[in-house]
Structure 1
Amino acid sequence: MSTISEETNLDAANQPSADNSDAAAGHRATADDAAGVSPANQHATTDGADGGEIELELQQMEDAANTLEKEGMISDSEAAQKREQVARTRKLFRELSPAERAAIVRRRREIGRELMDRQLSGAAVVAATVRLNHTRLKPLFEQWWPYLNRMSINMQRFGRSTFGAEDQGTVTAWLEKQVTDLEAYVDEQLGVAQDFREKTEQKLREQGDIVFAPTVTKPSLSIEVEAYSRFSMRLLSLLMKFDRVMDNFDFLVWNGIRDQSDVDEETARFLRKFHPIGVRGYMTHLRLMTTVRGR
């Protein structure tokens, strides 16, 4: 196999505001709002969905603000405001108990699930069935996809009035590049994993070894969703495709070819690669919602 190293889990302690009906939820928590624009990697004290990686998450938020400022996507004052928010949230989280941190993580994911249940009037949608066999992909999906989905249609509707024509193009181009790069990565991983599995299985059979063919009979997630854009559908597709990569990992672990820790590291690599688009897309969603609420 070509990959298998690094580490990271995903889920952020954050509270999003989703659309007009999310306004109350959006204003309820400064700490939540600041804390969850990305996953992190230190002081572990959550429900396990993010591996307790709050501190790295906050650092990545700060880095994202610096990047947005450099690329001219936000003003100096906005960047300074975001950095202050990170500092404030870091202090808040250091003072929170493990139970309080876990509650924030759960709440953020709950809002994402609620958002998927709300239909958006006047939106042309495509219904899709999402099945994810593996538990580690479920928090990734709940943490980012509902907001990225809503962001994609709000960018079409309110992107110009929120960012201006030029900055809207910059944001859209960046997101497009991230999705394209992710698709290429996942396609490569699936090809490598399938090829390695086939060769391994053939070798085991030639040696007369027992070959196990594990399957997931109870998926981690199986739901119907409404996607608002081709962008959203592409994200769904690459998540489900990586889930198939993990099916091949299961085969390798069952047959003693790879250790579970190796597989965990490889999965973490994907989570880390998905993270930037989640952060930027979520921040874009929040920015767009200020326009939506003002109408």
Structure 2
Amino acid sequence: MSTINEETKIADGDTGTAALNGSILPDDVALASGTIPAGPLVTDGADDGELEAELSRMEGDAAILQKEGLISASEAQDKRDQVERTRKLFRDLPPAERAAIVRRRREIGRELLDRQLSGAAVVSAAVRLNHTRMKPLFEQWWPYLNRMSINMQRFGRSTFTAQDQGAVSDWFEKQIGELESYVNEQLEVAGGFRERTESEMVARGDVVFKPSVTKPSLEIEVEAYSRFSMRLLSLIIKFDRVMDHFDFLVWNGIRDQSDVDEETSRFLRKFHPVGVRGYTTHLRLMTTVRGR
């Protein structure tokens, strides 16, 4: 159990195509400087460690698909070649350009939040995120995951084979289920630990500080397109509440800030694969949308 206890504007999705389950990572071709390299720049915008972990998963996926007879040996090799090209291209990027890619994706994500999708049945949700580390997570991934979820319903059969679409949906369901279990456990344990600690401090006659965030990092209303995107939104908001408990522990000297940062980074790492693959799936679906 892991918890604390005792840029350049572009059109929606107009960033190229990317496949899920080990094919291609997103090709963010225009950097914030406005320059476009001679060949497609393929990157997921993460740092080296996170990207390498994702690339390793993709290589493993290719091997599994080949072993199960779902793709041929040549197709598996193509996927491995794509992974290696991605690894080299991203490794050669200067740090400033890597950061620019992430900033630009966040800007486009914010633009998506302001666009209403015609004919879509939506559920409005108020989003308040107190902590600054949750804001970039939300902006960089949720708008694309939200749009991806409805486009999968509308264009999934036109984009993927029935077998591939099922594999994509199963993968996301498994990942979000594991994230829900993790975040619920974090919230329950952190809340329980805070409550017990506060009671002990009161019993000893200690001064108990009860900090609160008066100016949230993000406070907006969004339109969710599916139950899937509402579940992801709930995950982000719940972990923000976990961080409220962390604030209490730090303020009262129960835990060091570095401990809290480690726990928060662990959540971000767990969410990262869902964000990357949701984003790449969004791009893949947008090729079908634009072609209709």
Quickly name the TM-score band, shorter chain normalised. Answer: 0.7 to 0.9
CA RMSD of aligned residues (A): 2.9
Instruction: Give, in whole Å, the separation in 2 of the partners of 1:235 and 1:35.
Output: 23
**In structure 2, do the counterparts of structure 1 residues 117 and 107 end up closer, same or farther at CA, with 3 Å as the change threshold?**
same
Instruction: Give, in whole Å, the separation in 1 of the partners of 2:196 and 2:72.
Output: 53
Structure number with bigger Rg? 2
What does residue 181 of structure 1 align with? 178
Report the AA paired with residue 180 of structure 2: E
Return the TM-score normalized by structure 1: 0.81
Q: Is this contact kept in 1: 2:123–2:224, CA < 8 A?
A: yes
Instruction: Give, in whole Å, the separation in 2 of the partners of 1:99 and 1:280.
Output: 24
How far the C-alpha of 1:100 sits from its partner, in A, is 2.9
Instruction: Give, in whole Å, the separation in 2 of the partners of 1:101 and 1:199.
Output: 43
**In structure 2, do the counterparts of structure 1 residues 75 and 279 end up closer, same or farther at CA, with 3 Å as the change threshold?**
farther
Instruction: Give, in whole Å, the separation in 1 of the partners of 2:78 and 2:285.
Output: 17
Report the AA paired with residue 210 of structure 1: V
SS at match of 1:193: helix
Q: How many aligned positions are there? A: 269
SS at match of 2:220: strand
Instruction: Give, in whole Å, the separation in 2 of the partners of 1:77 and 1:142.
Output: 37
Q: Is this contact kept in 2: 1:16–1:33, CA < 8 A?
A: no
What does residue 35 of structure 1 align with? 43
SS at match of 1:272: helix
Give the percent of matched residue pairs that are identical in Structure 1 and Structure 2.
70
Instruction: Give, in whole Å, the separation in 2 of the partners of 1:206 and 1:162.
Output: 62
Q: Is this contact kept in 2: 1:68–1:74, CA < 8 A?
A: no
**In structure 2, do the counterparts of structure 1 residues 28 and 79 end up closer, same or farther at CA, with 3 Å as the change threshold?**
same
Instruction: Give, in whole Å, the separation in 1 of the partners of 2:71 and 2:144.
Output: 20
Instruction: Give, in whole Å, the separation in 2 of the partners of 1:83 and 1:15.
Output: 31
1:61 corresponds, among 54, 57, 77, to 54
My pick for the range that moved more, 128-137 or 71-80, is 71-80
Cα displacement string for residues 248-278 of structure 1 (whole angstroms, at most 9, x for unaligned residues): 0000000000000001111111111112221
**In structure 2, do the counterparts of structure 1 residues 88 and 165 end up closer, same or farther at CA, with 3 Å as the change threshold?**
closer
My pick for the range that moved more, 199-208 or 85-94, is 85-94
Q: Is this contact kept in 1: 2:146–2:229, CA < 8 A?
A: yes
What does residue 157 of structure 1 align with? 154
Consecutive unaligned residues of structure 1, counting only runs of 5 or more, are 6-13, 40-53
- Superposition pairs of residues 102-251 of structure 1, within 5 angstroms: 102-251=99-248
What does residue 22 of structure 1 align with? 12
Instruction: Give, in whole Å, the separation in 1 of the partners of 2:96 and 2:172.
Output: 35
